[in-house]
Structure 1
Amino acid sequence: MHTKSFQILVQSPDLGISLESIRNYETLSDLKLSLFPQSHHSFYFTFNGKPLPDQTPISQFPPLSTLSLRSRLRGGGGDGGATGAESRDCYLNMYADKKPDKVDPNEQRLSKWHNCALSNEPLREPCVIDKLGNIFNKEALVEALLGKKLPKEFGHIKGLKDMINIQLSAIPGADDGPKFQCPIAGLEFNGKYRFSALRNCGHVLSAKALREVKSSACLVCHKEYTEVDKIVLNGSEEEVAVLRERMEEEKAKIREKKSKKVKNDDGMGLEGTRLSGTKHGVDVKAVERVSAKVEEHVKLANGNVALNGAAAAKRFKAADMAPANATKNVYASIFTSSKKSEFKETFTCRSLPLGRN
């Protein structure tokens, strides 16, 4: 069977080949071998936009049909490098773990100076700091203490004594951005500048103002302070370590003072705990008189016990306690019956049977 001769037009936009007439080929593979003997696998034919297999007979195309010759893209299947060997699990594992969002360092810095360290809400009066320089809204910190919801990082705050009230200087008419500033230098409270709080008065001043103006008194209220009274706000790790060491030293001194007080109280005994009476309004002389009477009664009671033990057979009679000028029988009649009976007498009363008047 002789192959029919067909005229086929071939073009290749990738190779810059315009329309050429092709005849006497059985399949598209034979046609590619004739055009590219060494690299025929790098090309393929399309007809009306559809890819054609290499074994497609040329006889199935109508005469004067136009075939397009295109080059294959290297790297897999022409889809950007995918080879088809990847499984669906690869893509699922790729997006299974959510990548952490990148934190803007500027936003993180501003948050420490504009927001409460506990609630992350904007700072508003009244504000307090702890002994490590963290800034809080007082209301949020007190609520966390009452509800016992304070994080471990703020576990050193046990009560109001661990809070220091501060006074921030507001920027007039500030709506957005920093709301506070140094009342002396005018530097903004935004983390670009170092600030310190004076624990004795609570005023917050910039480090520049404290450095430029050499004074041992607050530049706002002129109250005297020492270097220990300066607390760096939102300090570096080294500065926080110094503040923490200072805080632990203060706690150790308080514990030592309490232990000494307890030892002194134990050693003084009753004699060392006498009241002076000047502070509490106690009449010391009256207390001493009462104490003397109590001691006397104790001695009498001890003496009566001894007498009762020595003469247990002797009974107590009311006449024995009669006053000096009183008749014993008349005095005894007040406490005892005037008639003799088999009923026993008791002290200050008579033992009467039921129905006896």
Structure 2
Amino acid sequence: MGCDGGTIPRRDELVRVKQKPEQKDKDAEREFRWLHCALTQQRLQEPIAMCAMGRLYSKQSIIERLLEKEKMPETSAHVRSMKDIKTLKLTPNPAYTDEDKTEGLLDTRHAPYICKLIGLEMAGKFRFVALWTCGCVMSERALKQIKGNTANTCPLCQLPYSVEDVIVLNGNDEDLELMKVKLEMRTAKRKSSKKDKKELKTEITSTAGKEASTEEPSSSSKADTAPKPSTSNNNGTKLKAVANPKRLGATNAMQDPELKRLKTDFSVAKDPKATDVYKSLFTSHKTNKEQERAHWVTYNPFYN
């Protein structure tokens, strides 16, 4: 029956020990995150997009979920519209073939995408980042090396970016906390930009309105607002009419001092252009001064 001296039992055969939990294969988990959609758990299909937390998605799956208005999982609850994702600009790996799509050892497989700057494969062994402004993807090592020599412009497309626009792809827990802070920074910046644009538009509109109100009225408006001569009303009362401009000009000319002086000093007898017959009609003529009877107009009998 056993235990009769022929065999020696071991301790693990006599005592039941607590089994250790099954350890996850870190390499397999890393491979799955970089090759599969975070929403559907299916293999990534181009175009590939990322969310603000740096998770990778097949863009088609995001569009379908938003159109169907299905509830997003907890890890993707922040994705509410297409504005919350960014399409990535990836560089294909020339060493990637159809054989790499089959299941096998990680050491013998190639990643489908690489860093365009230094050639590192995007398989999870090296940290990769993407820029929210343009969607370009590169290794974190390459970005740090180039950033030390140039300003904050994308080394691939030369578009400017800020610190909050750098997204770590498939980051750890610390990276996720940092991505949340950057998301809040971008949201606050976007709201501030919208507010500034709205205030600027309002200011331009108000300025244009003031300029329009201060402009001189057009000729047609002047004609409409010009005073018109008034006529008598139904009761027969006469209203005072505005004087004729030509008549006003003639009156003003008659009030000129020089014209008055010429008028007082003027004499028909001294006018060289007047004829003697014409001059004889006036009392200033010599024949009238020597007359013996009164003049028919002035009744002035004689001149001394």
TM-score by length of 2: 0.51
Pairing partner for 1:135 from 17, 33, 56? 56
Give a deviation string over 1:163-206, Cα, whole Å, max 9, x none. 11111111125121311000110000011111111122211011
- What pairs with 1:96-107 in structure 2 (closer than 5 Å)? 102-107=23-28
Tell me, in whole angstroms, the C-alpha distance in 2 between the residues paired with 1:261 and 1:227. 23
Cα gap change, 1:259 to 1:169, in 2 (>3 Å) = closer
Tell me, which stretches of 5 or more residues in structure 2 are unaligned?
101-108, 210-216, 218-304
Match of 2:150 in 1: 215
Tell me, which stretches of 5 or more residues in structure 1 are unaligned?
1-50, 52-69, 83-89, 277-284, 286-357
Considering fraction of residues, name the structure with more helix. Answer: 2
Task: For 1:119, give the aligned amino acid.
Answer: T
Give 1:155 deviation, angstroms: 0.8
Pairing partner for 1:246 from 182, 198, 220? 182
Pairing partner for 1:226 from 154, 162, 171? 162
Tell me, in whole angstroms, the C-alpha distance in 1 between the residues paired with 2:84 and 2:45. 19
Tell me, in whole angstroms, the C-alpha distance in 2 between the residues paired with 1:149 and 1:130. 16
Q: Matched residue of 1:243: which SS?
A: helix
Considering fraction of residues, name the structure with more strand. Answer: 1
Pairing partner for 1:155 from 77, 80, 91? 77
Give 1:264 deviation, angstroms: 12
Tell me, in whole angstroms, the C-alpha distance in 2 between the residues paired with 1:72 and 1:249. 76
Q: Residue 75 of structure 1 contacts residue 81 of structure 1 at CA under 8 Å; is this kept in 2?
A: no
- What pairs with 1:1-357 in structure 2 (closer than 5 Å)? 71=4, 102-147=23-68, 148-175=70-97, 176=100, 177=109, 178-213=111-146, 214-216=149-151, 217-252=153-188
Give 1:260 deviation, angstroms: 9.4
Give a deviation string over 1:317-337, Cα, whole Å, max 9, x none. xxxxxxxxxxxxxxxxxxxxx
Task: For 2:36, give the aligned amino acid.
Answer: N
Cα gap change, 1:71 to 1:159, in 2 (>3 Å) = closer
Cα gap change, 1:81 to 1:203, in 2 (>3 Å) = closer
Give 1:210 deviation, angstroms: 1.1
Give 1:251 deviation, angstroms: 3.1
Give a deviation string over 1:29-75, Cα, whole Å, max 9, x none. xxxxxxxxxxxxxxxxxxxxxx9xxxxxxxxxxxxxxxxxx945689
Task: For 1:233, give the aligned amino acid.
Answer: L
Q: Matched residue of 1:235: which SS?
A: coil
Identity %: 29
Match of 2:106 in 1: none
TM-score by length of 1: 0.44
Give 1:102 deviation, angstroms: 4.2
Q: Matched residue of 1:225: which SS?
A: coil
Higher relative contact order (CA 8 A, sep 6+): 2
Q: Report the number of matched residues.
A: 189
C-alpha root-mean-square deviation of aligned residues, in Å?
Answer: 4.0
Give a deviation string over 1:227-259, Cα, whole Å, max 9, x none. 232111112222221110121233345567778
Tell me, in whole angstroms, the C-alpha distance in 2 between the residues paired with 1:245 and 1:114. 27
